[in-house]
Structure 1
Amino acid sequence: MPEPIVPLLRSRSAAVALVVAAGLALVSCGTDDDTGTPNTARPTAPDTASFSGTPPTALESKASSAVESARAAASAAASSASAAAASFEASVSAEVERANQAAAAELKDVDGQGNAMSDVAMTGKPRSETGGLLAVVVTITNKTDRTASYAVQVDFLDDSGKAVETRYVGAEDLEPGEKAQPLAVSRKPAEPVLTPKLAKAQRY
Structure 2
Amino acid sequence: MNQPSPQRRALGGRTVRRLTPAVLAAVIVAGAAACDNDTSSPGTARSTRTVSAEPTESPSQSASPRTQRDFEASVNAAVERNRQMAVKQLAGVQGKGNAVKDVSVSGVPVAQGEQFRSALVRVTNPTDKAAFYAVRVEFVDASGKVLDSVVLGIADAPPGRTISEHANSRKAAGVKSFPRIAQAERS
How far apart are the structure 2 equivalents of 1:189 and 1:202? 24
User: Which is higher, the Rg of structure 1 or of structure 2?
Assistant: 1
How far apart are the structure 2 equivalents of 1:189 and 1:158? 8
- Which 5+ residue runs of structure 2 have no aligned equivalent? 1-71
Tell me, yes or no, if the aligned pair for 1:170 and 1:182 is still in contact at 8 Å: no
How far apart are the structure 2 equivalents of 1:160 and 1:189? 14
* Number of the residue aligned with 2:137: 154
- Evaluate the alpha carbon distance shift between residue 101 and residue 111 of structure 1 in structure 2; reply closer, same or farther with a 3 A threshold: same
**Can you list the C-alpha shifts for 1:13-48, whole angstroms capped at 9, x where unaligned?**
xxxxxxxxxxxxxxxxxxxxxxxxxxxxxxxxxxxx
Tell me, yes or no, if the aligned pair for 2:117 and 2:173 is still in contact at 8 Å: yes
* Number of the residue aligned with 2:151: 168
> Residue type matched to 2:158 in 1?
E
Tell me, yes or no, if the aligned pair for 1:96 and 1:182 is still in contact at 8 Å: no
Counterpart of 1:113 in 2: which secondary structure? coil
Q: Write 1 or 2 for the structure with the bigger share of strand.
A: 2
> Residue type matched to 1:175 in 2?
P
- Evaluate the alpha carbon distance shift between residue 146 and residue 154 of structure 1 in structure 2; reply closer, same or farther with a 3 A threshold: same
* Number of the residue aligned with 1:117: 100
Identity %: 38
* Number of the residue aligned with 1:96: 79
TM-score when scaled to structure 2?
0.54
* Number of the residue aligned with 1:193: 176
Q: Shift of the alpha carbon at 1:178?
A: 2.8
Query: How many residues are paired up?
Result: 114
* Number of the residue aligned with 2:90: 107
Q: Shift of the alpha carbon at 1:131?
A: 4.3
Q: Shift of the alpha carbon at 1:179?
A: 2.7
Q: Shift of the alpha carbon at 1:173?
A: 1.8
Counterpart of 1:144 in 2: which secondary structure? coil
Tell me, yes or no, if the aligned pair for 2:134 and 2:153 is still in contact at 8 Å: yes
- Which 5+ residue runs of structure 1 have no aligned equivalent? 1-89
